[in-house]
Amino acid sequence: MNRGDYVIAVICTSSQFTLREKLPHCLPFCRGEFGFPKDCVAQCESLTLVERQEIDWDAGRLGVLDAVHPRRLIKALGYIFDSECEPT
């Protein structure tokens, strides 16, 4: 999704961990995982676009996901779009 030159798709997170961690369209992350400072969930219903020029690329990455979590994000996005998304 992020192959374009002008915008990048981002998924917003929420600190409402206990309320949202079990929802099929949310993906929980524990404090310390992938650079997250506290427990949070990725809210796949909150997919938004940000202009690439608005991102501070010089600041570096906050964290990098392992091989499993991107697959879970794709499945959660599939739930939002009512699609059987299965990453390859």
For the entire predicted model, the pTM comes to 0.77
Query: What is the dotted CATH code of the domain comprising 7-80?
Result: 2.30.30.110
Q: Where are the beta strands (DSSP E) in the chain?
A: 7-14, 26-29, 40-51
Domain ranges of the chain: 7-80
Residue type (1 letter), 57: W
Q: pLDDT tens track of the chain, all 88 residues? A: 678 889 998 888 999 999 999 999 999 999 999 888 899 999 999 989 999 999 898 998 877 889 888 889 888 988 888 877 665 5
The pair phi, psi for residue 30, each rounded to 5°, is -90, 155
CA 17 to mean position of chain CA atoms:
14
Q: Give the helix/strand (H/E) hosting 69.
A: helix 68-80
